[in-house]
Amino acid sequence: MQKSLPGAQAAPAFSAIAPALRLSFGVLAVLCAAAAARAEVTVSHGFSNFGELKYGADMEHLDYVNPDAPKGGEISIWNQGNFDSFNQYARAGVPAALNTIGSEAILTTTADDPYGAYCFLCTTLEYPADLTFVTFNLRDDVIFSNGTPMTAEDVEFSFNLFLTQGIVEYRRVVETFIDRVEVEGPYRITFHFSDEAPIRDRVGFAGGTPVFSKAWFEETGARLDESTQVPFMSTGAYVLDSFDFNRQVIYKRNPDYWGANIPLNVGRNNFDTIRVEYFADSGAAMEGFKAGEYTFRTETSSQDWATAYDFPAVQKGWVVREEIPDGNVGSRLSWVFNLDKEKWQDVRVRRAIGLMFNFEWSNKTLFYGFYQQPNSFWPNTDLAAEGPPSEGEIALLKPLVGEGLLPESILTDDAPVPVAHSEERNRPGRRVQREAASLLDEAGWTAGADGIRRNAKGERLTLTIIQFNPLFDRIVNPYVDNLKALGIDAKLERIDTAQYVQRRREGAFDLANQGFDMGFEPSTGLEQWFASKTADNSSRNLMRLRNPAIDRLIKEVIAAETLDRLKTTVRALDRALRTVGFDIPLWYNPETWVAYFDYYRHPDPLPPLSVGELDFWWFDAEAHAALRAAGAL
């Protein structure tokens, strides 16, 4: 038997070392697999679900900005109503205009790339092909407006803040998307996604949340679900300068802004101050603009655009007017029914009431021919359903028809569009009136000797349209007249802004305005607009829509992984939404109308997706001095 050398340890038997070797080999295999997986991770300056990013990592500035735009001056705009908070994420309070102007997120978008998202608070992002996680390598030079550095802990805190204190409609959609958030270092953070997280939403969901200061929230005790007297501590180019509740709020450019010179910001954030003046109504605001109380106006009234700009400053060339084509998805302005009320749950009743709105007469007589009536929830795009359904749409819709969730006609009929009226008189033609009356009769609302429609219980068919803007009176009142002629006890109820906000939230209305603003790449956000799970508490699903067919079509849109598939699923959803018929489409404007004192300048051409007056326009000091010398200011 061999003896051991002095001081040497006896060699263990192989049976003793074999398990350790197996464990070592196992660990080595795991490490090798992890290394291989890491080697397959894409590292990029941005992300797109569809195709290449417009801008490369070596970009010097956005194509649509003036890189030599001067800094300085003020731009002033207006807002209607009042405000008592700087937190737009809480249901309590009325938030001030532009209250999120200082907020920034890890990723940002541009006004000329509808599908791209670019590193902003990060230098790069890393992700595998299956998008089970995304890692952001954060910039190490980002600071909050109080001078403290932003780190991965602030990103984690902000993300969790929205998941725990965000509005219910948001949390119900996204609360199961994340398995865990891992802070890997001061400037590195990874989001690990659950299997339930839609593939197309993952990177944008993780990178799109505004980043706030964790220390500031802990010091102040502020909450995302409560109103606040100041904006949240953020990293953006602008900070609150001063405010007078219900009258004025001023934001100023932060002279110590961390991102002033990064390529994505070249030619942007050019004004020293941005001032918002508050007015009780649009008429007072128009007079304020004429008097120079504010200097930039985005016009939303066709009547004012057609008739109100013949004042001395325009005649003398001191004020410029522009009609700028809007390349975004058109905004579908509608009146929506409150479907929680039993009387509006019958599609025949909704259809009858919708038939009585005469867009053609309204457009000619009230809107000066400027508007278009939206057929689709995606007007002005190739996402809109048109004509009969395609084979791909039929494949999506047919099972829903088979289960009795949608009418069989949706498989063969053209996509629903508003009925065409004569533009010569407001009252719909006899054929349309007969159709509307017949629908109400079928639904059990029959006209008595007094002409008023009642159901079998003797209850009158009443309808109240709530509004806060007096400009809508001239639009609503002719419609109310048409409804009364049909035997409906209809009325306009105009209330102040605070009551309007509260009654929409509580569902204390029959018809209320809603603007449907869809995007080019719709996904989980559709659930906030149309899903049953958001109907009880949503600022978007104002109509309280609960429809299993719509819910299932939304899931098909969310699951679409190619652009062609996305278009097919969105068209099928659009067709179904219009068939269900929970709104009365009013109008949309394919242009943006602006008027401003002639010392603001902008790049030419402007990008397709934004006018950008607060973003990349600039102040011409010489022109301002000339207008002042001429007595314009």
> 256 and 396, same structural domain?
no
CA of residue 566 relative to chain centroid, distance: 19
How many independent structural domains does the chain possess? 2
92: Cβ–Cβ under 8 A, 6 or more apart, which residues? 85, 225, 226, 227
19-24 LR contacts (CB < 8 Å, sep 24+): none
Distances (CA, A) of 249 to 86, 145, 224, 430: 10, 18, 21, 52
Q: Does a structural domain hold residue 425?
A: yes
The tokens describing 501, both together, are 């906000």
Q: 561 pairs with which residues across the strands?
A: none
pLDDT of residue 38: 52
Phi–psi pair at 399, nearest 5 degrees = -60, -35
pLDDT mean for each 10 residues of the chain (633 residues):
30 32 39 50 97 96 98 97 93 92 97 97 98 98 98 97 88 87 98 95 95 98 94 98 96 98 98 97 94 96 95 97 96 97 98 98 96 96 97 98 98 97 96 98 97 97 94 94 98 92 93 96 95 91 97 97 97 98 96 98 96 98 96 91
Here the CATH number for the domain that contains residue 284 is 3.40.190.10
Domain that holds residue 506: 332-585
pLDDT of residue 27: 43
pLDDT of residue 498: 84
Distances (CA, A) of 320 to 315, 467, 612, 620, 632: 10, 31, 16, 14, 13
Q: Does a structural domain hold residue 18?
A: no
Q: Does a structural domain hold residue 209?
A: no
Would you say 330 and 588 are in contact if contact means Cβ atoms under 8 Å apart? yes
> 258 and 377, same structural domain?
no
Domain's final residue, options 552, 569, 585: 585
> 322 and 338, same structural domain?
no
pLDDT of residue 10: 32
∠ CA 219-225-231, rounded to 5°: 55
Would you say 377 and 574 are in contact if contact means Cβ atoms under 8 Å apart? yes
Residue type at 244? Answer: D
pLDDT of residue 6: 29
Q: Does a structural domain hold residue 34?
A: no
Task: Residue 49: name the closest of 521, 517, 383, 381 by CA.
Answer: 521
> 410 and 347, same structural domain?
yes
Task: Residue 285: name the closest of 308, 259, 261 by CA.
Answer: 308
Phi–psi pair at 90, nearest 5 degrees = -100, 145
> 459 and 402, same structural domain?
yes
> 445 and 396, same structural domain?
yes
> 437 and 352, same structural domain?
yes
> 428 and 531, same structural domain?
yes
Widest distance between CA atoms in the chain: 121
> 362 and 315, same structural domain?
no
Q: Does a structural domain hold residue 102?
A: no
Task: Residue 177: name the closest of 161, 199, 156, 158 by CA.
Answer: 199
Burial classification of residue 225, based on how many CB atoms lie within 10 Å of its CB (0-12 exposed, 13-18 middle, 19 or more buried): middle
> 463 and 357, same structural domain?
yes
Q: Does a structural domain hold residue 293?
A: yes
Q: What is the DSSP string of 418-482?
A: PPP--SS-SSPPHHHHHHHHHHHHHTT-EE-TTS-EE-TT--B-EEEEEES-GGGHHHHHHHHHH
Global pTM value: 0.85
For residue 95, whether the previous peptide bond is cis, meaning omega lies within 30 degrees of 0, is: no
Q: Does a structural domain hold residue 109?
A: no
Here the CATH number for the domain that contains residue 519 is 3.10.105.10
pLDDT of residue 169: 77
pLDDT of residue 25: 38
> 620 and 528, same structural domain?
no
Residue type at 576? Answer: A
The tokens describing 226, both together, are 């409560």
568: Cβ–Cβ under 8 A, 6 or more apart, which residues? 390, 392, 393, 396, 560
Q: Does a structural domain hold residue 504?
A: yes
> 487 and 472, same structural domain?
yes
CB atoms within 10 A of CB 222: 18
∠ CA 542-175-95, rounded to 5°: 45
pLDDT of residue 284: 95
